[in-house]
Amino acid sequence: MAVFKVKVTVMFRKSVLDPQGAAVERAVKGGNISFPEVSSVRVGKVVELTMTGSDAGNVEGKARLLADRVLANPVMEEYAVEVEPLS
């Protein structure tokens, strides 16, 4: 069995309101911190896992299953999975 580092990035779908992202955007555009060039802020989460498996494809499949069932709400969120072998 090989060991892999897995990163699952979960974000709200573009069609879903992201109130935390909107609050961050307001904060960086006004007040004491001003970055007017910032727009369309979306806030998500990153989950890092260490997993074992026979190969990267096998581990990615299991990570996607985990994301579908536990890490993300597929109705409101989408996710990306990255798999990297650990030495």
Write the pLDDT tens digit of every residue in 13-34. Answer: 999 999 999 999 988 888 777 8
Residue that wins the pLDDT comparison between 77 and 87 = 77
H or E element that contains 45 = strand 44-53
33-82 per-position pLDDT tens digit: 788 898 899 999 999 999 999 999 999 999 999 999 999 999 999 999 99
- Kindly report the CATH number assigned to the domain that includes residue 12: 3.30.1280.10
User: What integer pLDDT is reported at residue 36 of this predicted model?
Assistant: 87
Q: How many domains does the chain have?
A: 1
For 37, phi then psi, to 5°, come to: -75, -10
> For the residues 1-17, what does the mean pLDDT come to?
96
Does residue 68 belong to any structural domain of this protein?
A: yes
Residue 76's domain comprises 2-18+44-85
For residue 27, being part of any structural domain is answered with no
66 belongs to a structural domain: yes
Q: Does any domain span residue 29?
A: no
